[in-house]
Amino acid sequence: MRVLIVDDVAPARRAIRSLLEEDPEITVVGEAENGEEAVALALRLRPDVITMDVLMPVLDGYAATARIMSECPTPIVAVTSLSLEDGTVMARMIEAGAVDVMSKAFSRAPKEWERMRRELVHRVKAAARVSVRGIPEGHASAAQVGCNAAFAASRPPAGRRPRLVVVAASTGGPPALRTLLGGLEASLAAPVLVVQHISKGFTAWMAEWLNGSIGRVVSVAQDGERARSGRVYLAPDDRHLRVLPEEILRLSEAPPVRSLRPSADVLFRSAAQAYGRDVVGVVLTGMGDDGARGARAIKEAGGRVLAQSEESATIFGMPRAVIEAGLADEVLAPNEMARRLLFLCGRGEAS
C-alpha cells in the first residue's frame, strides 16, 4: 500500500511516516509540505491513500482535498491537530471529499504512541479499500437493470403506502445521506430513521450539518419521542434505536450487535415487527453487512428494501450483502432513491 503524507510541519511528517512504516504492508512514497505540492505529487505518484493535514500554507487541506478529488480521485484521511469537537472540521473535510478524519496527537509515551499507530494504520488501510471513482450517480450496472425493471412498475396498493423509512449507513454515509435526504421533501408522508456508524461524539454535528445542507429538520432521536412525517431522526452515539407502533422511538443500552451500537439490524427488525409491509429499508454505503439481517426481516414482513448501487457507493460492503442475499427490490444511487421514496410514500402535510 502506497501512501503520500501531507503536512506543513516536518516533525509531524516524520512522526506519521514512522508510525505508518512500522507496518510492513505500508510504504510511504512521498511527502508534501503544503496543499499545492500535495496535488502535484498525487498526480505524479498516484498513491493508494493520502494523509492530509488541514491548516497549511499556499493551499490548505480543504482546497487540496477538493482539487485532488476532482483531478485524480484518491482516498484521503485527514490527520489534524484542530479540534474535532464541534464537527466543523470533519464536516468541511467530508464535503471536500475526505473519507475519514482523525486527530493528530503525538506523544512520547509508549502506550499513546502505540494507540496512535494502531488508529492511523487502521484508518489508512480502511481508506485504501474505499472506491472513489467519479462515476455519475445515476449510472446503473447491467446486472442491476433487471432487478430495477421488475420493480419499477409496481405501485403501493391503492390507499396503502409505506409509513416509515429506515436507513443504514457507514463509511461514506454522510455524503450519501446528504444526497438522499436532500432529494426528499419536508412533506414526505413518513418519518425517516437513520443509523449512521460514525466516531463517537459526532452524531450531533452530523445532524446540524445535514440541517444546514438540506434545509430539513434533522435531529438526534430522543427516547420516548414520537417521530413525525417528513422529519429525519439519527440514532444517537452508543445507543440502539428502535421504533414501536405509533412512531414511538426507544433508545437502548442493550449489548452491541456484532460489535455495533447503534446497529441497523436492530432498527430494521423493530420496524419490521411494528410496521410489517408498511416500511421501506434503505441500505447505503459501508463496510461489513450491518442491515442485511434486518433487511431480511423487512422482506419477510412484506416490506421493501432499496440498496445503493456499486457505482455510487464509497464502500459497497453493506449494499453488496443485501443484494447478494437476494433482498434488494431495487439497486439505486442515492438521488434515485429519493425520487423512489417520494413515489412510494407520497406527500402529506409538512410537520
Q: Which residue has the cell 422511538?
A: 249
pLDDT of residue 155: 52
CA distance 35 to 57: 7
pLDDT in tens, 217-273: 999 999 999 999 999 999 999 999 999 999 999 999 999 999 999 999 999 999 999
Confidence at 29, pLDDT banded by 50, 70, 90: very high
**DSSP string of 177-236?**
HHHHHHTS-TTBSS-EEEEE---TT-HHHHHHHHHHHH-S-EEE--TTPBP-TT-EEEPP
**DSSP string of 283-296?**
E-S-SS-TTHHHHH
Q: 292: which strand partners?
A: none
C-alpha grid cell, residue 121: 494504520
CA distance 261 to 234: 13
pLDDT of residue 133: 52
Q: What is the dihedral of CA 87, 193, 285, 273, to 10 degrees?
A: 150
Domains and CATH numbers, the chain: 2-128 (3.40.50.2300), 142-345 (3.40.50.180)
**Residue in 8, 48, 100, 197 annotated catalytic:** 197
Clarify whether 81 is annotated catalytic: no
**Residue in 60, 278, 290, 329 annotated catalytic:** 290
Q: 177: which strand partners?
A: none
pLDDT of residue 201: 75
Exposure letters 335-347 (e unless 16+ CB within 10 A, then b): bbbbebbbebbee
pLDDT in tens, 188-224: 999 999 999 987 778 888 898 888 888 789 999 999 9
Mean pLDDT, the chain, whole residue set: 88
CB 285 within 8 A of CB 314: yes
Non-local (6+) Cβ contacts of 220 within 8 A are 203, 204, 207, 233, 234, 236
**DSSP string of 19-40?**
HHHTSTT-EEEEEESSHHHHHH
pLDDT of residue 175: 84
- Reported in sequence order, the residue ranges of 180-295 that DSSP labels E, i.e. its strands, are 192-196, 218-220, 232-234, 240-244, 248-252, 279-283
C-alpha grid cell, residue 324: 447478494
Residue 125 has phi, psi (to 5 degrees) of -65, -40
196 or 313: which leads in pLDDT: 196
C-alpha grid cell, residue 178: 446528504
Per DSSP, the three-state class of 339 is helix
Candidates 250, 91, 86; CA nearest to 78 is 91
**Residue in 170, 229, 270, 309 annotated catalytic:** 170
Q: How many CA atoms lie within 13 A of 218 on its CB side?
A: 27
Winning range, highest mean pLDDT, from 114-128, 170-184, 254-268:
254-268
Clarify whether 197 is annotated catalytic: yes
pLDDT of residue 232: 96
CA distance 240 to 262: 4
**CA-atom Rg of the chain in angstroms:** 21
Q: How many CA atoms lie within 13 A of 143 on its CB side?
A: 8
pLDDT of residue 132: 66
Q: Which residue has the cell 443484494?
A: 323
CA 23 to chain centroid: 27
pLDDT over 50 at 141, yes or no: no
Beta strand pairing status for 232-234 and 279-283?
A: unpaired
